[in-house]
Amino acid sequence: MNRLRLFRIVLILSPLLILGFFEGTLRLLHYGNNLELFVPLDTNRDYLIANPDVALRYFDDPHQTGFGADDVFKVHKDTTTIRIFVLGGSTTAGFPYFFNGSFSRSLQDILSQTYPERNFEVVNLGMTAVNSYTVREFAKECLAFEPDLLVIYAGHNEFYGALGTGSVSALPAFLNGQRWLTLFFQNVKRLRLYQLIRSVILRAGSSETKERDRRTLMERMVKDRFIAYNSPLYRKTLAIFHRNLADIIRWSRESQVPVVFGTLVSNLRDQPPFISLHSIPVEDTDYREQLDVVEELIKLNRYQTAFETLEILRTQDSSYALTNYLAGQCEEAFGQYPQARYFYRQAKDLDALRFRAPSELNTILKGFSTLPGVFLADIETAFNRASPNGIPGSELFLEHLHPNLNGQFLIAKTFANEIIHQRLFGPPRRNISAVTRDLEKQSWDDRGVTPLDRKIAEYQIRILISNWPFTQESSLSINDLRPGNRVEETAIDVLKKKLNYKEAHLRLAQEYQNTGRFDSAIIECKALIKAFPYNQNMYRALGSVYLTAKQYGKALPVLQQALKFGLDLFSLKWGGIILLKQQRPNLAVYYLETAKQLDPGDPQIRYNLSGAYAQIGNPDQAIAEIDMVLQINPEYPYAREFRQRLLANGNKQ
């Protein structure tokens, strides 16, 4: 190789070498955030948890969004474990309930009871305001962690989710829809150098960012408010969705991991289209005035006259979304439910503000389900069957597309039915219909969704529908909320990020415990255990409630469960005291001796340990322990009297 050729190669590579040098330097200095999908759990390194900083791959402010749960899974998978990763957007995350309100939690309950011999790790990776770009990326990374199944419910955010074609994070207009560039940009955002540049830009524009944050996330994400049906951008978006899912399927098949997709469903009856567009030149003022008349006629239940006017308007332009929606209302009033469902679906598909997935995405999903290893849970059909007149509305939805608790459970049940029908984990041990019936008989309190969770959800929906696009002017924010009781006050503190989920439930549980409202305290603690089954503190909190309520028989197994996650002074001490009360002194000695090693100066531990030694016939050790009690605290209640009894019993012998 001559020198001139070498010089040209160095000249071409020098920018990359310089960038590589800066990137390596930043990593050596530990600058920036770790954007790996999973990180070790702080309290137990044997488990992995989704990394909240992953949101920085897609959003400048990670607090704008996040995972819907803090699910964990073991670093080393057990042979009896079934590991399922659940991927998608806000519905998958469980918005506005999150944690125990998500369909993934109910799916785990159903499968665990249907296959009681298996241990199910269902890990919810749903994240608000993300689309198939994020799902694609997460799915690829999940395949490295030995999943037995991927469950995917995604598609509503294809236009306005992170990197969506109509979102503020889309590429510039002349590049928009270029999938390869978007994928390249995703990789660039992981670089520490990119993080440094972004940090500088954000600091320079901090005042503008603060102004944007006053709007809801829905409004902040939207750039293109008018995306016509079948427009070039519309078609590109569908093609991107198809290719992103095709990648997931290809990688999953290479790893021999089955995938279950869920068809998409949204509120048809009770959500009018946000924006209607004409597809042909029409005198819009006259057209709109006639629609106003139709709406008044419908309010007066004069459906026949309204429908006749709509038929005339549809001959002028059948692609106007609102016209189809009003036709659906008329057909439903006539009892023509299939026709009504058709018109409602048309209205949703023609809505130019694309917050609800168009029906063509379900066509894509159904097409993939013919491939080996790919399965389809027909959630749309399940919602149709569960809705009055076969038309999904407010009975199952909170607003335009987020299901209420019953809707979330229906999604879980539909996924579970498909999993069991396909025998993905072998024949079930219990009948799924019986399992779901038993679960549906339980209150949501028993299923881990407490009054606090429901109040947080209520507030989030109130704020959402009081702002754009549901209203033209914002009319409610977090600061406008006024609490009427302690639950409402705590819910507002969560929304203002003064408390996180754990802190809020623990605070309420402690207050209930202090005021003798033990049933309410138990509900809060059980919800925390369901949400964080590998967190020792949650079991300790429930054990404390049972102890205060003097329900010792219920306290002991909870404290023993806490000890499975490591030594804990509180659980050892009170577990030993309960065992002593139950006349099980040998085990009490073990618990209390272990507790003594953790806190040798606790007179209560030694006092009860003295009693345990006395019960097993070891008076010398019992006297030694009671002497230590009196040395630590000469006034300890009943200690001197107990010592006298021990000495008296010794003299008798």
Res. 8: pLDDT tops 70 = no
Residue 629 tokens read as 């009690």
Residue with tokens 């790919």: 374
Listed in order, strand segments (DSSP E) in 424-505 are none
Res. 209: pLDDT tops 70 = no
Res. 653: pLDDT tops 70 = no
pLDDT at 250: 98
Give the whole-angstrom CA distance, residue 117 versus residue 119: 7
Nearest 5°: CA angle at 179, between 249 and 375? Answer: 20
The burial of 225, by beta-carbon neighbours within 10 Å (0-12 exposed, 13-18 middle, 19 or more buried), is given as middle
CB-based contact 479:497 (threshold 8 Å): no
Res. 50: pLDDT tops 70 = yes
Res. 271: pLDDT tops 60 = yes
Residue 628 CA from chain centroid, whole number: 51
CB-based contact 71:109 (threshold 8 Å): no
Q: Could you tell me the pLDDT band of residue 21, with boundaries at 50, 70 and 90?
A: low
β-strand 72-74 against 119-124: which pairing, if any? unpaired
Give the whole-angstrom CA distance, residue 546 versus residue 225: 54
Cis peptide before 40 (omega within 30 of 0): no
- Average pLDDT over the chain, rounded to an integer: 92
* Mean pLDDT in residue range 73-97: 96
Give the whole-angstrom CA distance, residue 566 versus residue 568: 6
Res. 87: pLDDT tops 90 = yes
pLDDT at 214: 63
β-strand 374-377 against 259-262: which pairing, if any? parallel
Residue 93 tokens read as 């995350």
Res. 207: pLDDT tops 60 = no
Q: What is the pLDDT of residues 449-458, one digit of tens each?
A: 999 999 999 9
Half-sphere exposure of 212 (CA within 13 A, CB side): 17
Residue 68 CA from chain centroid, whole number: 2
Give the whole-angstrom CA distance, residue 64 versus residue 68: 13
Residue 633 tokens read as 């605290």
User: For the ranges 71-85, 177-191, 393-407, 421-435, which has the lowest average pLDDT?
Assistant: 177-191
Domains of the chain: 38-221+235-265+356-420 (3.40.50.1110), 284-350 (1.25.40.10), 447-566 (1.25.40.10), 569-653 (1.25.40.10)
Give the whole-angstrom CA distance, residue 369 versus residue 246: 11
User: For the ranges 26-35, 87-96, 283-292, 387-396, which has the lowest average pLDDT?
Assistant: 26-35
Alpha-carbon distance values, 607 to 341, 583, 611, 624 (Å): 73, 16, 7, 10
Q: Is 230 helix (H, G, I), strand (E, B) or coil?
A: coil
Q: Could you tell me the pLDDT band of residue 576, with boundaries at 50, 70 and 90?
A: very high
Give strand pairing partners of 119.
81
